[in-house]
Amino acid sequence: MKQLLKYLAFCAIAVLLNSCNDSESDLLEAKVYFESKEHTIEALNEQPITYELQSRVSSAYSSPVEVCYEIAGQNAVKEYNQKYGTNYETFNAANVKLGSNVTTIPSGAIYSEKTPIEFTNLENMEEGKSYLLPVRIQSSSLPAIAGSDIIYFIITKPVQIKKVAQFQSNYIRIPLASGTMFTSVTYEALIYISQFGSNNTIMGNEGILILRIGDTALPGGHNDWIQIAGSKQYHSTQAFEKGKWYHVAFTYDQPSGKTAIYINGSKAAESTWDTPSFDLASTGSGGFFIGKVANFMWGERPFYGYMSEVRLWTVARTENQIKQNMLSVDPNSDGLAAYYKLNGTDQFESDGKSYVKDASPNGMDGLANGGSSQLTIKELETPVTIK
């Protein structure tokens, strides 16, 4: 019996050692992969764009390694979108030209020869949309490193915003129906500050939920910090600068209670709330405004500068969604309640009153300056850029 137990113990140790050796051998085995996971291409004009594709091995191999490239399909795009919370469309493979589907990593070398990949017909891309093209690496000589066997090309056609609305005691009132309750919510806007004041209104309902710059009651009297205020409030400590474009956003996800302030697509401050809902249509202080709180008893708190791409949502947008859509968004996006591009082409007159057209299909046309006058539109020398 003792001999049998010794034998079994010896076998278990042998299996364990062999397993360890296999794991070590697997780690040391040369594999092919892409060094870069993503590469962004901006289609600024109609000219084709070429990128030099290059793969490598994890360690030098004693023989030449043949590498094959193939364009992955919609499933790879779908998996990427699900993993990162994005909504990229698949770039049309017919508009992609690979210099060759096959390349070689020479014996004893690390990198492959460079293979050109050309993106064409870029003039047919829709402005503001982003597309994804996954390219997969394979080799008959060596295995590929899982997770690094695909490089994702993000192809974008940047939005060129050159006309924006000037706010200098101007405002828009959003016609939310009485009793409109928001559980989850997102505020978004592109802003350019010309002058700091006290409580410079970006958007919202005073006393309920308002996004603003420069509450001098903040620690140190900072009039260059962004704040969400109302029945709940908190702020970021990042100082804003005059003469510079920013994308700002606020989100509240009621089921989780998580709330955040974003600056240029990155989280700048966060908190946790227990508020079941917000009555953003409340008329206690006049309703929901963009630019200033008209006729507010304690001061109208105007914003001084320019704005564009102002949006109100009934959902809490994710960080990726915010970052991906700072300069434009699909007007038919789920949860988009009101959308004002503020480029001048969206202003109109009706029954002797001035309005700003809601770009969403919800008919939330905003009343400009109480209906008395249109907003002043500024034409920029260079398009809006977020850095």
- The overall longest dimension of the chain from CA atoms, in Å, is 103
Q: State pLDDT tens for residues 117-148.
A: 999 999 888 887 889 999 999 998 899 999 99
Give the pLDDT of residue 277.
Answer: 95
Is the pLDDT higher at 211 or at 324? 211
Average of per-residue pLDDT across 47-64: 94
Rounded Cα gap, residues 324 and 184, in angstroms: 20
Cα–Cα distance between 96 and 52 in angstroms, integer? 13
Identify the band that residue 348 occupies on the pLDDT scale cut at 50, 70 and 90: very high
pLDDT at position 12: 44
Q: What is the pLDDT of residues 198-256, one digit of tens each?
A: 889 999 999 999 999 988 777 777 899 999 999 999 999 999 999 999 999 999 999 99
> What's the pLDDT at 85?
87
pLDDT at 310: 98
Q: Counting beta carbons within 10 angstroms of the beta carbon of residue 160, is it exposed (0 to 12), middle (13 to 18) or buried (19 or more)? A: middle
For the cut 80, the answer to whether the pLDDT of residue 363 exceeds it is yes
pLDDT tens figures, 326-347: 999 999 999 999 999 999 999 9
Q: Indicate the pLDDT class of residue 8, thresholds 50, 70 and 90.
A: very low
Q: How open is the CA angle 190-158-246, to the nearest 5 degrees?
A: 20
- Check pLDDT > 60 for residue 79: yes
Given this model, what pLDDT does residue 10 score? 43
* Residue 115 exposure: Cα atoms within 13 Å on the Cβ side: 24
The pLDDT of residue 45: 82
Return all residues near 348 (Cβ < 8 A) that are at least 6 apart: 354, 355, 357
Q: Please check the confidence at residue 62 and state whether its pLDDT lies above 80.
A: yes
Q: Where are the alpha helices (DSSP H) in the chain?
A: 2-28, 74-84, 319-324
CA distances from 55 to 91, 93, 105, 140, 310 (A): 22, 20, 8, 14, 43
pLDDT: is 266 or 178 the higher one? 266
Give the pLDDT score at 16: 40
Chain segment 272-320, per-residue pLDDT in tens: 999 999 999 999 889 999 999 998 988 889 999 999 999 999 999 999 9
* pLDDT of the residue at 220: 77
pLDDT reported for residue 176: 95
Q: Which domains does the chain have, with CATH numbers?
A: 30-156 (2.60.40.1740), 163-379 (2.60.120.200)
Residue 28 pLDDT level (bands cut at 50, 70, 90) = low
Q: What is the pLDDT of residue 3?
A: 52
Query: Tokens 């959902």 identify what position?
Result: 315
DSSP 361: T
Phi, then psi, of 345 in degrees rounded to 5: -75, -10
The pLDDT of residue 74 is above 60 = yes
Are 293 and 206 in contact by the 8 Å Cβ rule? The answer is: yes
| Confidence bin at 27 (pLDDT 50/70/90) | low
Number of alpha carbons in the 13 Å side-chain half-sphere of residue 7: 4
**pLDDT for residue 17 is more than 90:** no
Give the pLDDT of residue 197: 86
For 43-52, 261-270, 363-372, which range has the lowest pLDDT when averaged over its residues? 43-52
d(CA 82, CA 179): 35
pLDDT of 270 above 70: yes
Task: Give Rg (Cα) of the chain.
Answer: 28
φ/ψ of 319, rounded to 5, equals -60, -40
Identify residue 82 by its one-letter amino acid code.
Q
Residue 18 has pLDDT above 50, yes or no: no
* pLDDT confidence of residue 217: 75
